Amino acid sequence: MLAKIEALHAELKQDEEALTQAKEEESQLLDMLKDLQQERDAQAQKALQMKKRLNPIEGSAGEDTKEIEAANQNFFVQYRPSKLY
């Protein structure tokens, strides 16, 4: 009976140590999560400030898109699958 009590006591001690370690790891993870959230917020703020400083180039995006679409269309007309084989 005494041996069983000692075994249960040892198991309880191991469980308490494991619980303590898990709580410490949880605390560290929460701290790391908080740090990462602060870094994310700082990066988002920086990105927003950079975006506000950008001056759009009028007309170039639309013209570029049209040129790319025309080049793609010419490629597909010129190199239809039947011409590739």
DSSP secondary structure string for all residues of 13-80: HHHHHHHHHHHHHHHHHHHHHHHHHHHHHHHHHHHHHHHHH----TTHHHHHHHHHHHHHHHHHHHT-
Which two three-digit tokens encode residue 17? 């140590």
Domain boundaries, the chain: 1-54
pLDDT, mean of residues 62-66: 77
Give me the pLDDT at residue 85, please: 47
Phi, psi of 70 (to 5 degrees): -65, -40
Q: pLDDT per residue over 44-55, tens digit each?
A: 999 999 988 887
Q: How confident is the model at residue 69 (pLDDT cuts 50, 70, 90)?
A: confident
pTM above 0.75, yes or no: no
3-class DSSP state for residue 3?
Answer: helix
pLDDT for residue 34 is more than 90 = yes
